[in-house]
Amino acid sequence: MKRIVASLRWLLPVALVAGLATSGVAVAGASAPAQGGSATLNGSGSTFQQPYNEQVIGAFKQKSPSVTINYSGGGSGKGRQDFADQVVDFAGTDAPYSASDAAGVKGGTYYYFPTVAGPITVSYNVNGVKKLQLSPQTLAKIFQGDIKTWNDPAIAADNKGVKLPSTPITVVHRSDSSGTTQNFTTFLNTAAPGVWTLGAGSTVTWPSDQQSGQGNPGVGQTIKSTDGAVGYVDFSDAKALKLKFASVKNQAGKFVAPTLKGTTAAIDKAQVNQDLTYNPLNAAGASAYPIASPTWILAYQNYSDSAKTSAIKNFLNYIYGNGQKLANSVDYAPLPKDLLDKAKAQVKQIGGSSGSTSSTTPSS
């Protein structure tokens, strides 16, 4: 008998804790709708938009303390997979679903919400060269290893009057797969067709004599410490490392330096699809910087409880309101007015009755 009591005594705290935990959950769950908006939203995905998301989630939290938003990063691919499996409430992605993957998304109709964008710099470190201009064709030849030295005639042709050294070129690319690689290679693929042969994707097979770095900071560090190095680095990391940026020739034939304004200008000229996906790469317009990462938040049309529905709507509305003003402070380009209006209109669709059958063209 004593032993039974002993084992019960051991069990009691466990049972108590378990009981409290479940009742606590029950209480929280029951009271959530009554409080009008107490909800938790979990998201994962793009690491490119993560610094912006952290900023905007922090600011939103002060405005609506009852809503908790967690964004765990992990990469766009992970975000799209988690969203398709309904593991998360929203996801961040730098690229839309492919047609075959889109068919596997559970959870009904969903929307793409463009949030911000960021220029991708061509950063370089060449002793004695303060200003560098590169056309897409020259960029393609440099990055696939056709051009080996900085005084190559092709580079000289883009930089009339600049004295270029004979330093060998060291190309630095990402060792991990990345949306930055995807957008940079897609730019070369569209702007230098016939020249660029490595294809476009989050990972491409670079020549094996090139250097690689982990993440944007890894690439940036390698460029900074190597004379003759050139690589693609996202704007905020390149700025933080005080790297020099090359100006890239845009579709209008102008050499444009990477700036947030130039990126917003590029999005403004980009053709926006009905589902609000768009491609800012190699955009028209004299002031458009041609290489930029777009990024979206994926959200479902319908959520299981109304608290979540209003929380996601409030969050997205915040991004399109004050959130856009936060973009500059963390080196992201805000959306142009036209796209902003379309996005705001799309937020209204969330929680509405599911009228559309096709998830990829929800606004029709």
Q: Taking CB under 8 A as the rule, does residue 9 contact another protein?
A: no
Question: How many helices and strands, by DSSP H and E, does the chain display?
Answer: 13, 12
Write phi, then psi, for 277 (nearest 5 degrees).
-80, 150
Q: Taking CB under 8 A as the rule, does residue 1 contact another protein?
A: yes
Among 2, 130, 163, 242, binds another protein (CB under 8 A): 2
For residue 175, give every residue at least 6 positions away whose Cβ sits within 8 Å of its Cβ, in sequence order, or none. Answer: 212, 213, 214, 218
Where on the phi/psi map is residue 291: left (φ > 0), alpha (ψ -120 to 50), or beta?
A: beta
Among 42, 50, 177, 306, binds another protein (CB under 8 A): 177
For residue 207, give every residue at least 6 positions away whose Cβ sits within 8 Å of its Cβ, in sequence order, or none. Answer: 144, 145, 171
Q: Taking CB under 8 A as the rule, does residue 78 contact another protein?
A: yes
Q: Count CA within 13 A, CB hemisphere, residue 263.
A: 23
Query: Tokens at residue 41, please?
Result: 């939203």
Among 39, 43, 74, 315, binds another protein (CB under 8 A): 74
Q: Taking CB under 8 A as the rule, does residue 308 contact another protein?
A: no
Q: CA 278 to CA 284: how far, in whole Å?
A: 13
For residue 135, give every residue at least 6 positions away whose Cβ sits within 8 Å of its Cβ, in sequence order, or none. Answer: 158, 248, 249
- Which CB, 156 or 200, lies closer to another protein? 200
Residue 222's CB is within 10 A of a number of other CB atoms, namely: 20
Taking residues 34 to 73 in sequence order and writing x for each that binds another protein by CB under 8 A, - otherwise, the string is: -------------x--------------------------
Q: Which positions from 247 through 276 interact with another protein, judged by CB under 8 A?
A: none
Taking residues 209 to 228 in sequence order and writing x for each that binds another protein by CB under 8 A, - otherwise, the string is: x-xx-x-------x------
Among 138, 185, 295, 359, binds another protein (CB under 8 A): 185
- Which CB, 165 or 201, lies closer to another protein? 201
Contact set with another protein (CB under 8 A): 1-4, 7, 47, 74-78, 80-81, 97-98, 100-101, 170, 175-179, 182, 185, 198-206, 208-209, 211-212, 214, 222
